[in-house]
Amino acid sequence: MLNIDPTTTVAWKKLESHFEEIKAVEMKSLFSKDSQRADDFSIFWEDFLVDFSKNRITKETQQLLLDLAEDCGLEEAIKSYFEGESINRTENRPVLHTALRSKKNDKVFVEGENVIPEVFEVKAKMEEFSNAIISGKTKGYTGRAFTDIVNIGIGGSDLGPAMITEALKFYKNHLKVHYISNVDGDHVQEVLKPLNPETTLFVIVSKTFTTQETLSNATTARKWFLDSASKEDVQKHFVAVSSNVPKVAGFGIAKENIFPMWEWVGGRFSLWSAVGLSVSLAVGFTKFNELLEGANKMDQHFKNEPYIKNVPVQLALLSIWYNNFFKAESEAVIPYSQYLQKLPSYLQQAIMESNGKSVDRNGNPVTYETGNIIWGEPGTNSQHAFFQLIHQGTKLIPADFIGFKESLYKNKDHHDKLMANYFAQSEALLMGKTEDEVRKELTAKNLNEEEINDLLPFKVFQGNKPTTSLLIDKLTPESLGKMISMYEHKIFVQGVIWNIYSYDQWGVELGKQLASNILDEINKRKVSKHDNSTQNLLKSYLK
């Protein structure tokens, strides 16, 4: 990968002066001047329509952003990414979640060894295991079939599978899947309370198997289980997903019940590996595999499609345009599907943990903005909540609107209403409402001149707020796989251009270390030297 400060490129300089020309341009005037605009700034790909015409860009902007990608060596970077070079340099690892959804005959080499056969071995093990649990062939310690699965993990070992399980609820079988992540003991108790140990299977997911939260929760779950069962029964009810086999064995989990994962898969990109075991249990392995196939299709699109029609590249460039030139600090993700309610929090980790970096790949502090803040909630709920700020607040918040042409239960009446909101909101954000329009509206309501003038400023909407509409045929495992892979590659492109390492997370490590030191003090009931505030808080906690 080239380690280029993007602000030193010719394209960046040109974008700076281009920004001065475009910053006040109204998108609605761009639309009225060019009847082709929607077509020109849309990508039709498989079952996706990505319409980014409601963004503050022209053809020139698009070209300059593409030049920026070229100046920053995107092509070479994509090659390194897919070919397994150690692009996660600070941890000296390749970044190969794409290998997890490769085809059987593909070859991906890590340290000279093709890893695809191993990936397929683990997939086969997941398939066999999922089938046996779902069918009831594998039984619990009293001979009853399993009814409940409890996934214990945190961060990358929780957010991905939890989001996918929720998103694919429509495709679920009879197994009830629960997630425990927080070390909050109340959370653990609430999940365990209604469960029967005879029919509950625990999936402990931890790449390192050293994470405090996960190990504490797993230990509590085992204790709860042992209140009814014997030590020998643990092997039947606890399985693990980890790359640390000796540690898992120490917990009492049988070797054959360990699903391996690899150092070359980052936690937040691991849902495609055995970390997705709970998903495979919830919807069956076939559907899990369809998710992988969807992701693979997007991988191919990203790798091969010219940038002008390349969805992740275009989305990443737009995001850079707003972040670095308009100085937008955040981006909203608004899925018009309740099934995708966990998507924003999943993306918060994927995007903010990856690109929340302030040191560039040369080890120097960056002089420009990097990772944006991601937030969101499903529409229409969010329209009745924070949309006020997007419409009339002082901040520029580019938003992704995600909608589906078809509802899963085919409730057309509801779906038309839902989608009417999806279309109306992005149109309103684009068009706004002018003084003239407000005046007409209030006049029609028989308000007098004084009343109209009094209300007018509050009822005007500036408009010109950027949105990107993602319109997908239907929420299926495959389309979901495509969408998640799309965001993963968007993250990658941004990281390449911002010249940062997207695949480490040293910021997370610091919190882990400090918490473990303080826990030691709490256990010993002896507060050592801290800043004044922390010291007072700790003393008050220990009183």
Q: Which residues contact 494 (CB under 8 A, 6 or more apart)?
A: 316, 319, 320, 355, 371, 502
Q: Which is nearer to ligand G6Q, 207 or 342 (CB)?
A: 207
The CB-of-210 to ligand G6Q minimum distance in angstroms stands at 7
The sign of the CA dihedral 84, 86, 87, 93 is positive
Quote the Cα angle for 388-427-416, to 5°: 95
The per-type count for the chain, helices as H runs and strands as E runs, is: 23, 13
What one-letter code names the amino acid at 360? D
Q: Which is nearer to ligand G6Q, 351 or 438 (CB)?
A: 351
Token pair recorded at residue 407: 């509802």
Q: Which is nearer to ligand G6Q, 211 or 426 (CB)?
A: 211
Quote the Cα angle for 218-144-242, to 5°: 30
Q: Which is nearer to ligand G6Q, 157 or 467 (CB)?
A: 157
Reduce the secondary structure of 58-79 to three states and give it as a string: CHHHHHHHHHHHHHCCHHHHHH
The CB-of-267 to ligand G6Q minimum distance in angstroms stands at 2
148-152, strands of its sheet edge to edge: 176-180, 148-152, 200-205, 238-242, 258-260
List residues near ligand G6Q by CB under 6 A: 154-157, 206-208, 211, 214, 266-268, 353, 505, 508
Q: Which is nearer to ligand G6Q, 27 or 149 (CB)?
A: 149
Q: Which residues are catalytic?
A: 353, 384, 512
Residue 185: name the closest of 210, 213, 207 by CA.
213
The CB-of-84 to ligand G6Q minimum distance in angstroms stands at 18
Q: Which is nearer to ligand G6Q, 140 or 276 (CB)?
A: 276
The CB-of-222 to ligand G6Q minimum distance in angstroms stands at 17
Q: Which is nearer to ligand G6Q, 182 or 208 (CB)?
A: 208
The CB-of-209 to ligand G6Q minimum distance in angstroms stands at 7
Q: Which residues pair with 469 in a beta bridge?
A: 51, 401
The CB-of-269 to ligand G6Q minimum distance in angstroms stands at 7
- Maximum Cα interatomic distance, the chain, rounded to a whole number of Å: 83
The CB-of-201 to ligand G6Q minimum distance in angstroms stands at 19
- CA 201 vs CA 176, 268, 285: distances in Å: 10, 24, 17
Interhelix angle 285-304/477-498, rounded to 10 degrees, is 40
Count CB-CB contacts under 10 A for residue 59: 11
The CB-of-214 to ligand G6Q minimum distance in angstroms stands at 5
Count CB-CB contacts under 10 A for residue 118: 14
- What is the chain's percent helix, strand, coil content, to nearest 5? 55, 10, 30
Quote the Cα angle for 422-426-428, to 5°: 115
